[in-house]
Amino acid sequence: MELTITKFAHLQIPLEDVLNATKKFHHDNIIGHGGFSTTYKGRLLQSGKLMEIAAQRFDCKHGEGDLEFLTEISMLSDLKHANLVSIIGFCDEQDEKVVITTYEAKGRLEQYLKSLNLTWTQRLRIAIGVARALSYLHYDKGRDYAIIHCNINSNTILLDNNLEAKLSSFEHSIKQSVYNKVEERIDTMGCVEPGIKKTRDVTHKLDIYSLGDVLFEIMCGSKAYFQKEDDRYLASLAEYHNELGKLKNMVLPGVWLWIGEDKDVSCCSKFMECVGDWYGVLG
């Protein structure tokens, strides 16, 4: 780990600065939890400028989390896109491993799925932002490799002050020079194409399927996975309604309150048509 981390030495931030920024990782500053980490908000003085930050603190006490920590740094240090979170730096000191990124003030998309304050236009813009982020990860010509995110869901999609989508959480991501199948752990319930989950073969189609789930969540105002309903998945319900030609019945009722002009109705109908057929790309 030490030999590898030196590649990113220019991004190192002293632990003392991180502790000051997060008030010593105070529980009041917690804004998210992951499988191997807890994320805190804070204010960091960097180059004479006080900035809002998110500090992802990895739990590596039992040998777990080391790879995720390094992967997060490696990915974010190479990536620059309007719809991705930006890395500010990291801390690797006194058994503390923390990745510092920009703080997205509006939080996680999942918080707004059912909100009638999130208009149809805003939902559409968020969906387009996530799609642009994926296009960049999968097909950007400026890199000699593609990136499979492996963890796209409404919890890893953040929103800035302008409600623009910012994809985060790259600790499970994979770099590939071509889209070869690889073996990788998959933990995200409800956002994994069934065939992929069964065989454990990961390609860029995993991200495409997960994007489809997120589009349905945005449209329906519901999470992709219903743990309290016999492990039901939004995807299977959507496919059922689509086959009956009743996909419109799944749309969050408030959507129709926002749509007034003919062009808006046409746009919403086109959106439903696209996400209704999304699983076809995996055939």
The mean pLDDT value for 22-49 works out to 92
pLDDT band at 197 (very low <50, low <70, confident <90, very high): very low
pLDDT (mean) for 116-144: 91
Tens digits of per-residue pLDDT, 209-267?
A: 889 889 888 888 877 665 555 545 666 666 666 676 666 667 777 665 555 554 556 67
Mean pLDDT across the stretch 171-187? 62
Selected residue with higher pLDDT from 197 and 268: 268
Decide: 157 and 168 in contact? Cβ < 8 Å.
yes
* Residue range 160-185: mean pLDDT, rounded: 78
Query: What pLDDT does residue 144 have?
Result: 85
**Going by C-beta distance under 8 Å and a sequence separation of 6 or more, which residues neighbour residue 149?**
134, 137, 167, 170, 172, 173, 207, 210
68-102 pLDDT per residue, tens: 999 999 999 999 999 999 999 999 999 899 999 99
- Domain ranges in the chain are 2-102, 107-276
What is the structure's pLDDT at 15?
97
- At residue 276 the predicted structure's pLDDT band, cuts being 50, 70 and 90, is low
Torsion-angle region of 104 (φ positive above 0: left; ψ -120 to 50: alpha; else: beta): beta
Q: Which CATH class is domain 107-276?
A: mainly alpha
The domain made up of 2-102 has a fold known as Phosphorylase Kinase; domain 1 (3.30.200)
What b/e readout covers 81-101, taking b as 16+ CB neighbours within 10 angstroms?
bebbbebbbbbbeeeebbbbb
- Section 109-125 average pLDDT: 90
